[in-house]
Structure 1
């Protein structure tokens, strides 16, 4: 690892390595598997999601990027196991803030998270070239390299620690590397409130020639987190 990477990456203890399954992605982003065939797809930031691992085994063309990938898959698997158990303990205290139709109960949630983690870290060992370390808002990809970019549970959620300038810079970089469209889910912060600067960001995107829609999706776990932002390049 270069000195530059050492300065830009997070300490492993500060990375939360928990993410979602392939099926959750299809629901979060209102997608059909067949609609993704023939597309180059970027998952950013991907964390421990199994979207890349499962999707590529199904014949899709998916690349994952995340600051976590500066670390080895084994380190990330161990961290992910710790994070899942910690999250499940916290979930017991906050069950009322979530809707359990999808997972049924905490044990069901744990199983989904473990499945995603194992799929991701096993695939990292087999197909490391599909997992690219990045430090947002910059990405080491060419202009228009991907057709579709999916971004889950990062932008807008961390409104308390990522300012609007970071959000705009990151979305502009996402647009640079994407040819067709970006989908961002969800549109709420960690408290389940609509991101306070969302209308300002939508206005900025429209002024720069994008078509922007807020779309309800067939997935809601965190209360009120049931919409995505679809950004089509002009």
Structure 2
């Protein structure tokens, strides 16, 4: 790797490398394997999620992309373990901000996060080609390369540090590489507040020929984070 490439790589300490399990993805995006079979799927950004790893094992065509994938698997796994420990400490202090139905307690939550990290890291070693480093709002994929795009815990969650302009530029790129449908979860920020510009965001999509549907899902852990935005391209 050249010195220039090293200098442009995002500092690993600025990345939170935590992921959700395949089962969580199926519930928070209201998915079925029948729906996904035969489709080319992009998980963006995928982090330490196990959706790609488990999906590939059962015959799904999934690609994961994330800014973190510029780093070695060993470094990412170590960072992930540290981040899980830190997150569980935070959970102890903020348990009342979460709904403990999907997970029965912090120990069960930890097991899910560690399972996702292990599956992701192992698959990154075995199938490196499925994990693409990207820096949004730019994606290195062809127009309409994917049928379905899933985007979890990113766009609206970080509304305090990713402004509306970034959201729109990212959305344009997600639309460019997607042929059929985009699903975004959740529709709240880190504090559980609805994304301020959601109405304006929807207006932009409608004006650009998309059908939008807010869908209640089978997953709620963070309070009020129980719905996704389903965006269908009609052009």
Q: TM-score range by the shorter chain?
A: over 0.9
Please give the residue correspondences for 1:63-212 in structure 2 after superposition, counting only pairs within 5 Å: 63-212=63-212
**Secondary structure of residue in 1 paired with 2:184:** strand
- Where structure 2 has 5 or more consecutive residues not aligned to the other structure, the ranges are none
Mark the CA change 1:200 to 1:148 in structure 2 (over 3 Å): closer, same or farther: same
Q: How many residues end up aligned between the 2 structures?
A: 234
> Which residue is 1:230 aligned to?
230
Please give the residue correspondences for 1:29-48 in structure 2 after superposition, counting only pairs within 5 Å: 29-48=29-48
User: Contact 1:145/1:177 (CA < 8 Å) preserved in 2?
Assistant: yes
Deviations 1:1-33 (A, max 9, x none): 456644543200010000100000000000001
Separation (CA, whole Å) in 2 of partners of 1:18 and 1:153: 10
**Secondary structure of residue in 1 paired with 2:190:** coil
RMSD: 1.0
Q: TM-score, normalization: structure 2?
A: 0.98
> Which residue is 1:10 aligned to?
10
Separation (CA, whole Å) in 1 of partners of 2:133 and 2:223: 31
Deviations 1:44-93 (A, max 9, x none): 00000000000000000000000000001111000000000000001000
**Secondary structure of residue in 2 paired with 1:81:** helix
Separation (CA, whole Å) in 1 of partners of 2:44 and 2:167: 13
Q: TM-score, normalization: structure 1?
A: 0.98
